[in-house]
Amino acid sequence: MADIVRHKNNVVTRRSIKYTEPDKTGIYAQGAKYWVEVTDELTEPGRGCVHCATCVDACTHNLAKPESPTGVFSMEVRYLDEEGNRVNMEAGDSVAFMEKILWINPDECCNCKRCVKMCPQRAIKVYENPDYNDVGVKLTGSGVINDIINRASNKSTVSSAHLGATQSKMDNDWLIDAAEILSPQRDHLHEFAGQIRRMTLGKRNARFECDTPIFDVHQSYGSNSHEAILARMMASIKLGRPFFTGEGYVHPDMMPAAKYCILQFGSGGYGPWLELDKFAGVSMKYGQDAKKGKGGRLQDKKNDYEIALLRCVEALRHLTAPNPQHLQYSIEELPMRVESLRCLLGDDKLIGADVYGTAWNFPEIAVALAKAGFDYITVKAGDGSTGAAHMVDMQNRGLNIIYLTHMADYALRREGLREQVSIIAEGGVMNSFHAFLTMLAGADFVGMGMRHLHVLGCTLCRRCHTGQCAWGITSRKYGHRIEPETASDSMANLVESFHEDMEGLAAGLGMTTHADVVGARRFRYHGSDPLLFQTFGHGEFDKQVPNFKQTEMNNKLFRSEKEVAEERSDKFEEILSNIKDEELTIDIGFDQIESLELNYIMKEAVRRGVKRFFLDNVMGQRVIGTGIECEEITVRGLAGNHCFGFVHDVKINVIPNHSTKTTVPANAQVGVANTSNPSEINIAGDVSDLFAAYSVSGVFRVAKSGGVRNLLLMKAGLPDEWKNIDVDRFVNAEKDEVLAEIVRRYQKRKSLRNKMKWQQFLKMYEEKLLKRTPPVAIYGVGSERRMGDYFMEYAQGGIGIILNIANKQNPIGYYVCSGMTAGAAYIRGELSDEQLGVGVRKIDYLTSEDRVFLQKHIDDYIAQFKDVDIDQRFNKALKEFIEAYESNPEKIFSTFSKIIPKATVAAVSNE
């Protein structure tokens, strides 16, 4: 049906609405999941479509043709002469009719409702299509049948944003207790009652003062657009709560707000990992959110040049995070990780753990985390937020958050640890009633993720992972549709409204403070879930949680630098009195100085001007160099676990200890040089597992061999953007000054963005990426053992070189470069295809550029180790290698093979 409008110049405009024809018949002609209906003026006078094309601009969804400039809607304009023939208006042909056709392709609709909300005529309606949804029977309905057809059609099986197969059990069957006669209801608006204020996240030395118990949750820069992240960050600052960054680090423009941000270190370890002492803290991710234990994957098309700048990876490649957090394989190793972070951050910064609550031993995990030294534990339930995952992984909802919170709180109380650690609970919390219930169950704070995104326009269309979000929440290209300052005010209004509700509920129970609410368990469950009913359905509070005795924590991890320095002041001053010309030699005496003591001594030495350290008689001391801002560290002896982690611009040498007492080889233990940006690290011996894991930049030289998972998730280099970061002036800045600065920087960005197309805008960041230098690691490989398995697993840039000094026939283990998305490995010696990991290929020749590159690093390796007395056997092998290399370098080069990713670079849209 069409309507006709006659203009004064006698050109008649004919307007019509048409639907695209299906391209398939039979069972594969599924039709649209949602039906889009647009009314015209004839059907609904005054409210019909006027062909303004607002819907065309609003809709961005097109999975079949992702590079298409239009989504569900497109507008076609035809020019006709008086006889109805098509004419070319630009050629000056006579035009009598102009036909405007609004084409609708409902197959692409995901029910995001952007078109409905933006239409000035309210002429668009979107509803479930019965032809798609009403198939099958109760047991095997449309969901099962259409999933089968989608898979047979080779359609994507990835989704996002709430695909739980069951309801959350948060809305129904919960009752909060009435007030008792001796504790009558009070008016929280006019009396001092229900004041859930002045709380702190963290209960020991590190604390963050909070004005609300409702937090946002970790969602990364990349999963969210720039504007969505900025709106959420500004809302958190306005509300007086920390902002959780997610795994994608923070944008340089947002660094003035660092003191309000808690970084997340996930299994991908993305980011430059600089200026960490400026942040409020770090959260370690021990359980995946939407993936039920599986690692995440940011698809290549979403990993644009700006994302690569933040995450220090190669752009337009898939970013894969491994399933487990590899830097610690067991509960027993957690304290070492906390120790490393504490040395890095200092005593006043928070260290948290994010755990997903589906494991059978979840209570034991919560206790282990508290004993390891974490300041807070985030208990995760629900089924994730914007995280992309395969549908089969998302069709399991986590345990109910009230039950999980109860378990964590109960376990910590039983062990006498509850007053040592804060609990944040998140997942499935949809409103103030849920939040209050969760706090009554034992949470200090409650996290809401999707609730904040609804404010930005989210209607849970489940297209977060596609980069096509029409509201601009999870699509960076359309992020400008969000106004961060206004959106942050709306988020603040939402949380303040929820907060006021919770204070009213607290007052109704006769409660006065935040502490009164946490763990009060003044509620009952009367539903059909047997687990919840058995836990909360009967019995009194004291039967649910007995009054356990508080335990005094004597763990050395809880002792601050100040306390240790005062206790050992005489020893510290004796050592520090040896400072000469910005240098300090410290005799460890093998076991005379503990790891933390050594770290504190070195920090105080730096404050007194020391730039170069020589550590003698070292025997496995941990965390050497972590958090130490100096120029050079030389270690004579064995470097312990997690040494040189997070170092920046430091030269480090580890040399053997051939003393009169004993011989200590220059080896390094587990997790050494992780997440680091050194100028160079030289180890005159072997290294163990996870050496240089997550390393961002620098040169790493190992005289002999490496263990398992060396160079795990190696990054692609540190851009100058991060080298020039300076946020010192905002460390003590007031809230308003910080907000004004990040808004000013955003306005500058927005002005630039408006002057160019999206891809042109991203090209500016491509130029910055080209200037960086990737990290390089070179191993000699000694006679005792070859390289371990999983060399350069999941590498996202960087170069690994295996020289094979000892001429082993097969110098490396299995799963070589498995999951590598960028970078390369050069391996000298025999390497079979069976030894290669998934997603890589072997090249058996070198280019001239490869030879030039290898020659430089081989020369540097030789110069570094040729005069070091490592051991008799290796010294001989290295001498023979040098002679062979200098006499016939081409013969050496001819025995190298090169490993690179199979995947190609993603196509880039010119739009």
Could you identify the residue written with the tokens 């470097």?
A: 639
* Tokens representing residue 419 in the block: 């007053």
**How far, in whole angstroms, is CA 133 from its chain's centroid?**
36
* Tokens representing residue 889 in the block: 């370098």
Q: How far is CA 248 from CA 307, 460, 723, 796, in A?
A: 8, 22, 18, 14
The pLDDT of residue 269 is: 92
- SS3 assignment, position 760: helix
Handedness of CA 337, 340, 342, 345 (dihedral sign): negative
Q: How many CB atoms lie within 10 A of CB 568?
A: 17
Buried b (16+ CB within 10 A) or exposed e, 760-774: ebbeebbebbeebeb
Handedness of CA 518, 523, 527, 528 (dihedral sign): positive
CB 438 within 8 A of CB 522: no
Return d(Cα 194, Cα 503) in angstroms, integer: 5
Contacts for 399 with CB less than 8 Å, ≥ 6 apart: 357, 358, 381
Return d(Cα 276, Cα 282) in angstroms, integer: 9
Full-prediction pTM beyond 0.85? yes
- SS3 assignment, position 589: strand
The helix or strand, by DSSP H or E, that contains position 530, with its residue range, turns out to be helix 530-536
Contacts for 387 with CB less than 8 Å, ≥ 6 apart: 160, 223, 288, 289, 290, 291, 296, 464
Find, among 250, 376, 271, the residue nearest to 730 by Cα.
250
Phi, psi at 286, each rounded to 5°: -105, -10
3-state SS of 478-492?
HHHHCCHHHHHHHHH
Beta strand 680-683 with 523-525 is unpaired
Q: Which value, in Å, is the radius of gyration of the alpha carbons in the chain?
A: 31
∠ CA 472-478-483, rounded to 5°: 65
Q: How many helices (H) and strands (E) does the chain have?
A: 25, 35
Q: How many CB atoms lie within 10 A of CB 493?
A: 12
Contacts for 95 with CB less than 8 Å, ≥ 6 apart: 11, 79, 80, 81, 87, 89
The pLDDT of residue 113 is: 95
Return d(Cα 373, Cα 392) in angstroms, integer: 35
- SS3 assignment, position 6: strand
* Tokens representing residue 585 in the block: 């030699």
Q: What share of the chain is helix, strand, coil (3-state, %, to 5)?
A: 30, 20, 50
The pLDDT of residue 907 is: 45
Could you identify the residue written with the tokens 């069709």?
A: 395
Return d(Cα 129, Cα 725) in angstroms, integer: 52
Residue type at 904 in one-letter notation: T
The helix or strand, by DSSP H or E, that contains position 36, with its residue range, turns out to be strand 34-38
Return d(Cα 221, Cα 357) in angstroms, integer: 25
Return d(Cα 794, Cα 901) in angstroms, integer: 10
Strand order in the sheet with 97-104: 2-6, 12-19, 97-104, 73-80
Question: How many residues comprise the chain?
Answer: 911
The helix or strand, by DSSP H or E, that contains position 403, with its residue range, turns out to be helix 401-414
Return d(Cα 286, Cα 356) in angstroms, integer: 8
Return d(Cα 214, Cα 236) in angstroms, integer: 10
- SS3 assignment, position 495: helix
* Tokens representing residue 442 in the block: 């034992």
The DSSP call for residue 290 is: T
Beta strand 174-176 with 632-638 is unpaired
Running along the chain, 911 residues long, what does each successive block of 10 average in pLDDT? Answer: 56 87 85 93 89 96 93 92 79 80 95 96 95 87 85 82 64 79 66 84 95 95 95 98 94 97 93 94 77 70 92 91 78 86 94 82 90 93 69 71 93 92 92 94 95 92 90 95 96 94 89 92 89 81 66 68 89 95 96 94 97 97 96 97 96 91 90 97 97 97 98 96 89 96 97 93 91 96 95 96 95 96 96 95 95 97 97 96 96 96 58 41
Q: List the beta strands (DSSP E) in 759-847.
A: 776-779, 796-802, 822-828, 840-843
**How far, in whole angstroms, is CA 157 from its chain's centroid?**
22
